[in-house]
Amino acid sequence: MSSYNNLPDEDKILCLHISDMISLCEKRHNKLFSDFLNERQMSLALSVLKEHGVSSYLFWGGYENADHTMLCVYPEYDSADKSEFPFKRLNLKYRKTDKLTHRDFLGSLMALGIKREAVGDIVVGEGLTSVFVKSELASYVEMQITKIGRVGVSFTDLEENLDAVSQEYEEKEHTVSSLRADSVVSAVTGLSRSKSRDLIETGLTAVNFEIITSADKKISDNDRISVRGYGKYIIISDGSMSRKGKYRITVKRYK
User: For the residues of 120-189, what is the DSSP string, one character each?
Assistant: EEEEE-SSEEEEEEEHHHHHHHHHH-SEETTEE-EEES-----TTPPPPEEEEEEEES-SBHHHHHHHHH
More confident residue, 186 or 47: 186
Rounded to whole angstroms, the Cα distance separating 18 from 34 reads: 8
pLDDT confidence of residue 233: 92
15 with 3: CB under 8 angstroms? no
Rounded to whole angstroms, the Cα distance separating 124 from 122 reads: 6
pLDDT confidence of residue 185: 97
Look up the CATH number of domain 169-254: 3.10.290.10
The average pLDDT across 211-238 equals: 92
pLDDT at 188 over 90: yes
pLDDT confidence of residue 8: 81
Q: According to CATH, where is 3.10.290.10 located in the chain? A: 169-254
More confident residue, 167 or 84: 84
Specify the pTM.
0.76
For a pLDDT cut of 70, what percent of the chain falls above it? 95
User: For the residues of 44-89, what is the DSSP string, one character each?
Assistant: HHHHHHHHTT---EEEE-SSTT-SSBEEEE--TT----GGGSSEEE
Q: How confident is the model at residue 1 (pLDDT cuts 50, 70, 90)?
A: very low
Q: According to CATH, where is 3.30.70.330 located in the chain? A: 87-156
Look up the CATH number of domain 87-156: 3.30.70.330
> Which has the closest alpha carbon to 75: 24, 41, 35, 36?
24
pLDDT confidence of residue 167: 59
The average pLDDT across 158-181 equals: 79
pLDDT at 2 over 80: no
**Which residues on adjacent β-strands are paired with residue 248?**
175
Class of domain 2-84: alpha beta
pLDDT confidence of residue 192: 96
